[in-house]
Amino acid sequence: MRLSRRALLAASTVAVAAQPALRARAQAAQTIRIGCLTDMSGPYKDLAGPGAVAAANQAVEEFGAAGKGLKVEVLVADHLNKPDVGTTIARQWFDRDGVDVLVEVANSGVALAVAGVAKEKNKVYLNSGAATSDLTAAACNANTIHWAYDTYMLAKSTGGAMVKAGGDSWFFVTADYAFGKALQRDTTSFVTAENGKVVGSVTYPFPGTSDFSSYLLQAQSSGAKVLGLANAGTDTINTIKQAKEFGLKMQLAGLLLFITDVHSLGLDVAQGIALTDSFYWDMNDRARAFSNRFSPRAGGARPTMVQAGVYSSTLHYLKTVMDMGPAEARKDGAATVARMKAIPTDDDCFGPGSIRIDGRKIHPSYLWEVKTPAESKGAWDYYKPVATTPADQAFRPLDKGGCPLVKA
């Protein structure tokens, strides 16, 4: 049999044309893929990491996706706290592996980079771990929601409340990078707004500093009443430990302190510290119920607000997908996010809430004080409530962020 060149050409064209058809059929099976991009090996492993993955899986199971005819897969990757690694994984997930939504992403640098990829590919990005409030300001986009907390919320709650409670002079110990400086800047504005004053600050090299005693002595000799810790993770832990060791007579304000940090410090060191969290496992019946279901999945640990955010955001996403129909939701990330903003949120972690046009998830924030060893009834019983900022005041006012999505 002789094959003409034209026949060959036609055959190959058909073969190529058939491929998208095959792919389309595979999509018709309606599998939703959730990519949990987190820090599995670095400084944020404990506050996010495997616990965040467990929270995403918990949301999928409790949503009862299987019973609703929806197949959901959770993929996991480690961004190593490097923006380039994070964006490469995100692109691979979106382009090759059919991932529809990214959750978590602790680390502000990685988060800002990944938000751009989600927009470019028109997918959904639900951030819980990163702190920077820029995600809902100039860097906001129609595909991104910032879930659990941000630097503005922390600064307002801890800074404002402590000045009202008499801590009217501050000294900052600040990590020398964007996050630390933003936290100090935001907190300073709330301290001065309440007629408090900042008497000094010291900016230390990040990363690579483990001895803070020198800065603590400088803080002590400044005569300030409050020591603001504009840092996170191990740095905060070391600062607090050494403040205790040197008998620092100042009130400590942990501007970003997670319950896993307090757990690592131990109550005899951490007692009395003021901190802000939008979620604490023992704050009400629903939070307790959620945490009791979470702990066995996370080796007995209680969830951080980041992990609670991953649970809450995943759950709300799946609700929205069912509401829109999976095929529609998979097609258009921005439309899905718009739909998520239209539906009120409600879950065991944050209770009823909503999502603003700029992508900011709205809920109350809470100021806590770390209990003394005598007050604590056992492991993970660490916080007592001090003050609550209602949902409508907890975050930066909509018109102050400069997010282009907000029409004047």
Partner 1 sequence: MFMIFGIPGPLLFGQLLLGLINGAFYAMLSLGLAVIFGMLNIINFAHGALFMMGAFVSWMLLTYVGIGYFPSLILAPLIVGIFGLLLEKTIISRLYKLDHLYGLLLTFGLALVIEGLFRNAYGSSGMPYRIPSVLQGATNLGFMYMPNYRGWVVLVAVVVCLATWAIIEKTSLGATLRAATENAPLVQAFGVDVPRLITLTYAGGVALAAFAGVLAAPIYSVNPNMGTNFINTVFAVVVIGGMGSIMGSIVTGFALGVIEGLTKVFYPQASATVVFLVMVIVLLTRPRGLFGKAA
Whole-number Å distance between alpha carbons of 230 and 207: 14
209 binds partner 1, rule: CB under 8 A: yes
Report CA dihedral (26, 118, 404, 278) to the nearest 10 degrees.
110
Is 43 a binder of partner 1 (CB under 8 A)? yes
Q: Is residue 281 a contact partner of residue 273, using CB atoms and an 8 Å limit?
A: no
- The answer to whether 373 and 267 are in contact (CB under 8 A) is yes
- Counting residues that bind partner 1 (by CB under 8 A) gives 41
> By rule CB under 8 A, what string of x and - marks binding of each residue 216-255 to partner 1?
-xx-xx-----------xx--xx--xx--xxx--------
Q: Closest distance between partner 1 and the C-beta of residue 106, in Å? A: 11
Answer for which of 38, 46, 227, 396 binds partner 1 (CB under 8 A) is 46
User: Which of 215/311 has CB closer to partner 1?
Assistant: 215
Q: Is 45 helix (H, G, I), strand (E, B) or coil?
A: coil
Least spacing, CB of residue 393 vs partner 1, in Å: 31
Q: Backbone phi, then psi, for 253, in 5-degree steps?
A: -115, 110
Q: Does 113 bind partner 1 (CB under 8 A)?
A: no
H or E element at residue 43? none
Tokens at residue 36, please?
Answer: 């949990």
DSSP state letter for 360: B
CB atoms within 10 A of CB 173: 26
| Alpha carbon distance 80, 96 (integer Å) | 21
CA angle 54, 55, 57 (to 5 degrees): 65
Q: Is 354 in the site for partner 1 (CB under 8 A)?
A: no
Helical (H) or strand (E) element with 387: strand 383-389
Length of the chain: 408
202 binds partner 1 (CB under 8 A): yes
Single out the segment in contact with partner 1 by CB under 8 A; choices: 4-12, 67-75, 187-195, 199-207. 199-207
User: Contact region for partner 1 (CB under 8 A) — 42-50, 283-291, 310-318, 369-377?
Assistant: 42-50
Q: Output DSSP code: residue 349.
A: T
Judged by CB under 8 A, the residue of 20, 205, 296, 378 near partner 1 is 205
Q: Is 176 in the site for partner 1 (CB under 8 A)?
A: yes
Nearest distance from C-beta of residue 176 to partner 1, angstroms: 6
With CB under 8 A as the contact rule, the residue among 265, 306, 321, 367 that binds partner 1 is: 265
In a 13 Å sphere around the CA of 257, the CA atoms on its Cβ side amount to: 31
Among 210, 285, 374, 407, binds partner 1 (CB under 8 A): 210
Smallest gap, in angstroms, from Cβ of residue 401 to partner 1?
Answer: 29
Q: Does 203 bind partner 1 (CB under 8 A)?
A: yes
CA distance 348 to 354: 14
Q: Which stretch binds partner 1 (CB under 8 A): 7-15, 207-215, 281-289, 343-351?
A: 207-215
Of 103, 162, 163, 269, the one binding partner 1 (CB under 8 A) is 269
- Of residues 27 and 264, the one with the C-beta less far from partner 1: 264
Binding mask 47-66 for partner 1 (x = CB under 8 A): x-------------------
One-letter amino acid at 28 equals A
Piece in contact with partner 1 (CB under 8 A), picked from 7-15, 104-112, 259-267, 308-316: 259-267
Q: What is the CB-side half-sphere exposure of residue 126 using CA atoms within 13 A?
A: 31
265 versus 340: smaller Cβ distance to partner 1: 265
Closest CA to 112 of 129, 93, 94, 95: 129
Interface residue with partner 1 among 94, 204, 279, 294 (CB under 8 A) is 204
Hunting for tokens 């483990």 — which residue is that? Answer: 210
**Contact in structure between 230 and 17 (CB atoms under 8 Å):** no
Q: Which is nearer to partner 1, 74 or 202 (CB)?
A: 202
Residue 214 lies near partner 1 (rule: CB under 8 A): yes
345-347 and 351-355 beta bridge pairing: antiparallel
What does the binding site for partner 1 look like in residue numbers (CB under 8 A)? 41-47, 176, 202-205, 207-211, 213-215, 217-218, 220-221, 233-234, 237-238, 241-242, 245-247, 260-261, 263-266, 268-269
